[in-house]
Chains A and B, each alone.
Chain A
Amino acid sequence: MPQKAPKFLDHIERMAGYIPGEQPRQADIVKLNTNENPYPPPPSVLERVREAATQDLRKYPDAAASGVRERLSRLLGGSPDNFVIGNGSDELLNVILRCFAGPGDLVTFPWPTYPYYDKLIDLQQAKPHPVPLDDDFQVAIDDLVHPESRITLLANPNSPTGIGLSRESIDELASRCSGILVVDEAYVDFSAGGAIEIAQKHPHVIVTRTLSKSFSLAGVRVGFAYAHPTLIAGLWKVKEHYNVSSLSQVAAEAALDDIDVMRVNAERIIATRMRLSNELRTRGFFVWSSEANFVLARIPVGDAGHVGDAQPLFEALKERGYLVRHYGQQPRLSDCLRISIGSDEQIDGLLDTLDHVVEGD
């Protein structure tokens, strides 16, 4: 029998894969690399999942995820028809790209940002238009407005910088940009922002959010999008029918019913974020002012051993059980580490370890 490799579409063959943040298999490492929440979701989540993980799991999930959409509309405004639920906000970003960016279409986004955007653009054979952040890592609105853009992707607060853009600026961007504006608010609950009101005003604005960060449910995979019902209906045409498992739906429902737990956890994380930022600054790091559950820190200049490259420090921390995020030799980020906000205890441990490493233990 002839054995020949299968032929893929050319653009797929050329594509590089997305490399997600490392999910280490050893249990004892302190994970401060993928912006998870160190505090548990409300106990009702566990109860509801346990109830759902029984005979009822035989049923296909509710394709409309109605329970989740109803709760979201009560909490955030609008009607259930303003919402669509995804298998993580990653899935919704994918669906949005499929809906609005075909081959050759321009997709604009600040850079650096969430690297997954780039992959999704490739997958659609669309044309990436990365707009460099300014010297202070701020989003430059004027540069982001492009008359031919089909989609503008704005992570707000941005990752890996943690910097947020003001509501006024987003409103201005919404008025000036062409095509669809996606405001990816994965980290919004750690900030004072929120663009849902802007999406209520502008029918071409989509706000995406996730339960992975503030709601402590990364492993459950629930994201959602808010937009004008017509736009939501367009996304519905393309998404997988049964994209969100029943387990995920009940977990999300329980977490939303007990939303105060999320708010309390977010407050704690914000407090720890300020403390970590200050501690790092005392140690000579430059820390951007973050509105997310992580901070981006540039290592002290001229430190022996790691001049302009945070790789050795990243490795040293990892060896000692602390996994943070380093972006390799990526321009503008090679001397930075992104550190997710863990519990106070974890952050104390990290700071101690950092001191030991710097002292050369």
Chain B
Amino acid sequence: MGTRLPLTSVVRNLPEMVPFVGPETFERRQGRALRVRLGANESVFGISPVAAEAMSAAAAKAWMYNDPEAYDLTEALAQAHGVPQTHVQVGAGIDELLGLLVRVFADVGEPVVMSDGSYPTFAYHVVGHGARLVGVDYQNGHVDLAAMADRARTEQARLVYMANPDNPMGSWCAARQIEHFVDAVGEDCIVILDEAYADFAPTEAIVPVLPLRPNLVRTRTFSKAHGMAGARVGYLLADPSIVEILGRVRNQFGVNRIAQAGALASLSDAGFVHRVVESVTVGRQQLSALAERLGLSCLPSATNFVNIDVGDGERARQILQQLLERDIFVRMPSKPPGDRCIRVTIGHAEDHEILIDALAEILNGLPG
């Protein structure tokens, strides 16, 4: 009956496959649990005990609808960033907010500019809403801001996206360059600055929150340093007019009651996040050192993952497959120049060792 489904033209033209295979799907296919799960850039360092406590308490009120305004969390975030509440919008992860932004700024067929191969879920939303993806190559493994600004202008794009630090490359651009970029694309073009990994980045990479530029939207998440990916909480900082419009189109009750309470509590436990960031920094050095012992180099990273350079895309794909056969889940960037790498989330030292041992074995079996 597939052909008889009265889908809209946008949805009919979407790729046939469910585009996303999560680690649980792998586990179901294999019929056993993964040994090492370092593919989704989750935090192995877990959540703050304060957050766990708050969520336990909130669960007792599960029968009641959650606050659709997420007032307490929004207020706490506004204070943390030194902006009024009207600049903050909470959502069910950055992912949901990215979808909403595409929905309000990009019409069917309109161009949306991003680095070719950057965060796939943003691309998914662009395609899902029938907009047109315009990819710009990375330059030396970095987002090419000058080329992005050029493309945005020649295409007269209304929306551009960059992740800083970038996923999957792990690289970052300096705040000054980004500010220049936001001015260069012109005031009619909205820049989404996805700062999912901001907690791990050097301060020079972070654009000051004030003054707020009306065409700059920045997104943050509780999924990485706060370790709460399973709860689905993200937020954005933007001009109040954008926050107001998103308020009209968003899923009103999208951030559930328990997640709101957990995020609020985690925000108050700055010491926890600080320790996670330190552990990630140490873990990055440790993993790179292990990779070097196998004669492999790693791309510099300002995130909670590291790209290990294995030479070329074909090798990377083979290695990924063989790792999976050993119940080790990592991913690889989909496009050049990152696709010569396997992307490994920072884990505990034991996770790294299991991975590196497996990698050594696999490399031995691969032709030169």
Q: Main secondary structure on chain A at its contact with chain B?
A: loop
Any B CB within 8 A of the CB of A233? yes
Q: In the bound complex, what is the Cα–Cα distance between A228 and B2 (angstroms)? A: 10
User: In whole Å, how far is B329's beta carbon from the nearest beta carbon of chain A?
Assistant: 11
- 0/1 string, B6-43, CB within 8 A of A gives 1: 11111100110011101111001000000001001011
- Option from A8, A15, A99 in Cβ contact (under 8 Å) with B7: A99
- 0/1 string, A81-106, CB within 8 A of B gives 1: 00000011011001000111110010
Q: Which residues of A contact B45 (CB under 8 A)?
A: 58
Q: Which residues of B contact A220 (CB under 8 A)?
A: 62, 256-258
Any B CB within 8 A of the CB of A192? no
Q: Which residues of B contact A37 (CB under 8 A)?
A: 63
Which A1-58 residues have C-beta < 8 A from chain B?
A: 1-9, 12-13, 15-18, 20-21, 23, 25, 31, 34, 36-41, 45-46, 49-50, 52-58
Count residues of chain B with CB under 8 A from any CB of chain A. 88
A-B contacts, CB under 8 A, total: 263
Which B198-248 residues have C-beta < 8 A from chain A?
A: 211, 213-215, 223, 227-232, 239, 241-242, 245, 247-248
Q: Which of A54, A57, A228: most chain B CB closer than 10 A?
A: A57
Residue of A nearest to B15 (CB): A237
Which A176-232 residues have C-beta < 8 A from chain B?
A: 179-180, 203-204, 212, 216-221, 228, 230-231
Q: Which residues of B contact A41 (CB under 8 A)?
A: 62-63
Given contacts A57-B229, A230-B5, contact A17 B42 (CB under 8 A): no
Given contacts A1-B183, A240-B96, contact A99 B59 (CB under 8 A): no
User: In whole Å, how far is A39's beta carbon from the nearest beta carbon of chain B?
Assistant: 8
A16–B248 contact, CB under 8 A? yes
Determine, out of A246-254, A310-318, A322-330, the stretch whose residues face the partner at the interface.
A246-254
B242–A6 contact, CB under 8 A? yes
Residue of A nearest to B95 (CB): A240
Which B34-62 residues have C-beta < 8 A from chain A?
A: 37, 40, 42-47, 51-52, 55-56, 58-62
Q: Which residues of A contact B10 (CB under 8 A)?
A: 98, 102
User: In whole Å, how far is A264's beta carbon from the nearest beta carbon of chain B?
Assistant: 15
B258–A36 contact, CB under 8 A? no
Any B CB within 8 A of the CB of A354? no
Q: In the bound complex, what is the Cα–Cα distance between A136 and B63 (angstroms)? A: 32
A228–B252 contact, CB under 8 A? no
- Option from A20, A53, A64, A204 in Cβ contact (under 8 Å) with B22: A64
B65–A34 contact, CB under 8 A? yes
A54–B105 contact, CB under 8 A? no
- Option from B44, B95, B103, B252 in Cβ contact (under 8 Å) with A242: B95
State the 10 A-B residue pairs at the shortest beta-carbon distance, nearest first.
Answer: A219-B257, A246-B230, A53-B55, A55-B46, A17-B248, A102-B8, A49-B59, A63-B22, A216-B63, A62-B24
**Residues of A in contact with B (beta carbons under 8 Å apart):** 1-9, 12-13, 15-18, 20-21, 23, 25, 31, 34, 36-41, 45-46, 49-50, 52-64, 66, 87-88, 90-91, 94, 98-102, 105, 119, 123, 150, 179-180, 203-204, 212, 216-221, 228, 230-231, 233-234, 236-238, 240-248, 251
Known: A58-B228, A218-B66. 18 other contacts (CB 8 A): A4-B188, A12-B249, A20-B252, A39-B63, A41-B63, A49-B56, A49-B62, A57-B46, A58-B229, A63-B22, A217-B62, A219-B258, A221-B254, A241-B95, A245-B259, A246-B230, A246-B231, A247-B258
